[in-house]
Chains A and B, each alone.
Chain A
């Protein structure tokens, strides 16, 4: 009997966290839509990273004689724009800034929301009330219009565009973190950790953060698609990325000026925005279903 126990004792036991992660990974990889999303994002991201290697032309180089060439023109697979710049090359290089402007504000807002939501949910009382009432004010503005108004105050430009988009996202993400914190906080394991003498910092960092991260991650991933559309919109309006920098929103905006002569200049970058936004949404949906055991069953 003692021998059996000894053997059982030495047998490596799967770690709970690792087991959960494997189950999540398996569920995610079984989701064909999520995999398609991952592939879309990987292709767009990979092309953006490898832009200097794979871009056929300089995205800023204008060739006067090649202006408004149609897709399929030899040497210009997707044609050229109103200044004779290769559209494919501009799309590849534009991915760098377009993806960045979609992802950075979402992640930044997620981090700020993590802090605010944890503090509001954990401390409750006056501080919670104060934080949530201040954020309530921001809910009174439609998201995109608030971003435009903020850019109106601080001025156009890429940095300001990212700042404005991050600010408008904070209330939404904070609500998600606070709700998750409030649902985890009364659980027995948190009480047990506190009874063992853990301080607030340890409870928050070691026990609450790992539990509020999954819902925040899911929410954030669905926001990236929305932010890619919103940020391209700000650039389209001339309030974000400024020409001639290649950016998908800027490309639609400048293509609009020649829409009557060459519709492809504005429509092709829009197709890319739709596909990449869909890709991020597919990933978000896949993450939600893989992280939610009820959905998995």
Chain B
């Protein structure tokens, strides 16, 4: 087990190296460079050359890469030429806000998806099954930015139940209750499509398990259907469900960009979009690095969780 974990961690090294190369080269593809962006249109040729020398931009590209990587490993992703702030300092709080949104959405998507999926499988070919699967099909195809707008129209404009913008009220006292009220609509929006996919996949996994002989034996013993599903079917169905749910976490990060934009949630995705529009490449690069690293960590956690849940997957 320990050796597998070590092997899995070792396997991350080439992926992380590849990510760093892609992100570094991506920045180099852009016409102009950081020195020009920092100095703006007023920079003279002399000051440009001086700043390039100071930033090491006149050195060979592999040297630049090694220096950039060294600095990145020490938590220095450079300075944003647009907002004149260190990239890490700018992104860390936004990353925290995105984690709050992504965490809440994931809990919502996984809970609703798994409950609906199990219910649909247990009541296969009944109205519950048809309605829940039909709804998941439609919801799974809803653009998150559109769903967010619809929820704003219904719950913020028409019913006036929930706030539609930001993380905290500008005039309120703030606090957890205020945050939770602001979190409901963005979390539902972000969770909708991943939840729908989890529901469909859970239904398929549970149905497959329910076809096994040992389930027939459990039923023949006279066990209640509830026990058959919770104690026998779900135990085996967990690993694929965890894998699917874990994969959704990545898509959830993608969907969160739209949610953050629609609800004015001050997260990493919103920052990424505004930096893309402002062509603030330093920040785009930093945000891409944050996102890729969290995606890699999520995949690792899902793998290890599966190992824990499914003894058959453990190496001998």
Contacts and interface: CB of A to CB of B under 8 A. Distances in A.
Interface of A: 133-134, 136-138, 140-146, 148-156, 225, 229, 232-233, 236-239, 249, 252-253, 255-256, 259-260, 263, 266-267, 270, 273-274, 277-278, 281
A145 B143 contact: no
**B interface bracket (residues with beta carbon within 8 Å of A):** 35 or more
Residue from A140, A249, A259, A278 with most neighbouring chain B CB atoms (10 Å): A140
Contacts of A142: 250-251, 253-254, 291, 295
Contacts of B257: 144-145, 148, 237
Contacts of B39: none
A124 B152 CA distance: 52
A153 B15 contact: no
B94 to A, nearest CB: 14
Nearest to A143: B254
Nearest to B148: A256
Contact of B145 (A138, A145, A152, A233): A233
B153 interface: yes
Contacts of A140: 15, 18-19, 292, 295-296
Contacts of B138: 274, 278
Main secondary structure of the interface of B (DSSP, over half): helix
B22 A137 contact: yes
Residue from A152, A153, A156, A266 with most neighbouring chain B CB atoms (10 Å): A152
B27 A153 contact: yes
Nearest to A149: B288
A145 B269 contact: yes
Nearest to A137: B18
Residue from B21, B145, B251, B296 with most neighbouring chain A CB atoms (10 Å): B145
Contact of B30 (A153, A256, A260): A153
Contacts of B251: 142-143
A163 B143 CA distance: 21
A133 B18 contact: yes
Interface of B: 14-15, 18-19, 21-22, 26-27, 29-30, 137-138, 141-147, 149-150, 152-153, 157, 250-251, 253-255, 257-258, 261-262, 269, 272-273, 275-277, 279, 281, 284, 287-288, 291-292, 295-296
Nearest to A253: B145
A263 B254 CA distance: 25
Nearest to A261: B157
B143 A237 contact: no
Given A143-B254, A151-B276, A259-B153, A274 B141 contact: yes
B15 A259 contact: no
A134 B18 contact: yes
Given A134-B18, A140-B295, A153-B281, A273 B143 contact: yes
A280 to B, nearest CB: 9
Contacts of B250: 142
A114 to B, nearest CB: 23
A41 to B, nearest CB: 13
Given A152-B275, A153-B281, A263-B157, A141 B141 contact: no
A154 B255 CA distance: 22
A32 B295 CA distance: 39
Residue from B137, B251, B284, B292 with most neighbouring chain A CB atoms (10 Å): B292
B90 to A, nearest CB: 15
A141 B292 contact: yes
A146 B22 CA distance: 11
A263 B158 CA distance: 11
6 contacts: A145-B288, A152-B281, A153-B284, A252-B145, A255-B149, A278-B137
A156 B277 contact: yes
A233 B296 contact: no
Given A137-B19, A274-B138, A278-B138, A232 B143 contact: yes
Given A236-B258, A270-B143, A141 B273 contact: no
A152 B291 CA distance: 15
A153 B27 CA distance: 7
Contacts of A252: 143, 145-146, 149
A37 to B, nearest CB: 11
A42 B143 CA distance: 21
Contacts of B273: 148, 237, 239
